[in-house]
Amino acid sequence: MHNEQYVNNSQDTGNIKEGGYRNMSRNAKIAYVSLVSLVGLIVFLVGLFTPAYDFFVGLIMGISCWIGSGILGRYWEIKK
């Protein structure tokens, strides 16, 4: 009986359990993935051209942002 209620509730269009990221538009998902990639590029360039932090620190942080954007894009089913 409890399972039937859950199925009926999950079929509601107004139910919050339907998935948070599915409510976002495709363009918004692409924008977030691109923004994370851009942050990685900016972090890398700051490490390369300024004395704010070492080159290798900027490289590691940039690569981690790019990997994170790839994971996020794969999770949201965005093809680059």
The predicted pLDDT at position 20 comes to 60
pLDDT along the chain (80 residues), means of 10: 49 51 82 94 93 91 94 86
* Dihedral (CA of 76, 24, 66, 61) sign: negative
Report how far residue 5's alpha carbon sits from residue 17's, in angstroms, rounded to the nearest whole number.
Answer: 13
Smallest CA-to-CA distance from 59 within 72, 46, 69 is with: 46
The predicted pLDDT at position 23 comes to 80
Q: What is the pLDDT of residues 35-45, one digit of tens each?
A: 999 999 999 99
Domain boundaries, the chain: 25-80
CB 41 within 8 A of CB 63: no
CB 61 within 8 A of CB 47: yes
The predicted pLDDT at position 77 comes to 87
Q: What is the chain's length?
A: 80
